[in-house]
Amino acid sequence: MRFNSQWLDQRPYVIAIFISLLLIIWLATGLGNEKINPDITAEKRAPVPQVKVATFVAEQVANTVNLYGRTEPDRIVTLQAQVKGTITQVFAKRGSFIEQGDVIAAIALNELPAQLEHYRTLLKQRRIDYYGAKELFKDGYQGESALAQKLSDVTDAKAELARIEKDIGNTTIVAPFAGVLNERYVEVGDYVGIGEDIAMVADLDPLVIRAHITENQVIKVKEGQVANIALLGEKQIQGKLRYIASVANENTNTFKAEIAIENGNYQYLAGISAEVELPLEQVSAIKLSPALLALDEMGNIGVKSVVDDHVVFTHINMVKSDETGVWLSGLGDEEQIIILGQGFVRPGDKVNPVSSEP
């Protein structure tokens, strides 16, 4: 032993080599274990997160196109004075219902009756002159130019007579169609000039909702289909899609649409906000709270569910929505959707799902 000890004392490098070999063997053993069992090492470092899930079952719902607009009159016109004069009578009150042809107001005739008699007499005289010139032309005592002048005089008298008759007719302001006298701008004694407003008449039957359809929606709807309408402060009613524009608006790239509502008793007013639902085909959809929606790394909307204890992100399409939730297509007939903890996990992560009621 004394020999061995002296021998080692004289050779310290042997001890250093021996210690180095032990360190290399220990390090190699540790790295090998990590390479052989990387999953076990990772699991020891990071515990599996727990998420709460609920099972949602799909149901058949009607896919819809939702539009927003306001109710408007089918037609609206402002009647203006075609002759000048004083208002002598008014026959309809503002807000009253009028039929086509009903008299709204009358303008004083003034000198129009006298002018009518004058041009009637003038026309009769010029016709006599024309027939006399025509006979003279046949006998060769009248030139063709003189005969043409007499015919022109007859035509001028006819035109003036027609103008006076039209002016007399325009002194009576009548409704061009049935509707509501929404506004009357004159009273008895008012003087109106040509072009001044007399009254405004609105046709409220049918009542029309004018809205705009996107280029993706326009291929799904057709004229004549039934529309479900929710008017502000009213119960849901039905209308009909009566018109779709064939050319899109250049600025918005949308198509103008008109939905007509029967309004025979004028119970619905113009100017009310309206939401229109155009039902399409039946689709399978799951109803969720909007709070359960998520975005992927590309900004696509979807939901996170659990399949075989791993998180799956599924892109969805929104079918319809209301105050109680949204209906989504693109999912299966039954899905385990994460309802708590979805913000802390990513697609592909292993999780420990805990079931709960939706």
- Tell me how far apart the alpha carbons of residues 294 and 315 are, in angstroms, rounded to a whole number: 9
- Tell me how far apart the alpha carbons of residues 333 and 285 are, in angstroms, rounded to a whole number: 8
* Helix (H) or strand (E) run with residue 89 in it: strand 85-90
At residue 358, the pLDDT reads 64
DSSP state of 49: P
At residue 343, the pLDDT reads 85
**pLDDT of 281 above 60:** yes
At residue 87, the pLDDT reads 95
**pLDDT of 10 above 90:** no
At residue 70, the pLDDT reads 92
Closest CA to 150 of 178, 119, 128: 128
What percentage of residues in the chain have a pLDDT greater than 70?
89
Radius of gyration of the chain measured on its C-alpha atoms: 45
Q: Which band of pLDDT confidence, cut at 50, 70 and 90, is reported for residue 280?
A: confident
Q: For residues 65 and 280, is the Cβ–Cβ distance under 8 A?
A: yes
**pLDDT of 4 above 80:** no
Least confident of 8-17, 165-174, 193-202: 8-17
At residue 47, the pLDDT reads 82
**pLDDT of 73 above 70:** yes
Q: What is the mean pLDDT of the chain?
A: 86
At residue 233, the pLDDT reads 73
Say which residue, 319 or 12, is predicted with more confidence. Answer: 319
Mean pLDDT of 170-185: 94
Distances in whole angstroms, Cα of residue 355 to Cα of each of 54, 290, 325, 346, 352: 6, 20, 21, 19, 10
Q: For residues 185 and 197, is the Cβ–Cβ distance under 8 A?
A: yes
- Tell me how far apart the alpha carbons of residues 111 and 122 are, in angstroms, rounded to a whole number: 16
Mean pLDDT of 225-233: 89
Mean pLDDT of 87-103: 93
At residue 37, the pLDDT reads 55
Q: Tell me the pairing of strands 334-340 and 85-90.
A: unpaired
- Tell me how far apart the alpha carbons of residues 324 and 279 are, in angstroms, rounded to a whole number: 19
Q: Which band of pLDDT confidence, cut at 50, 70 and 90, is reported for residue 122?
A: very high
Least confident of 103-112, 117-126, 139-148, 255-264: 139-148
Number of helices (H) and strands (E), helices first, in the chain?
5, 20
DSSP state of 48: P
- Tell me how far apart the alpha carbons of residues 328 and 283 are, in angstroms, rounded to a whole number: 10
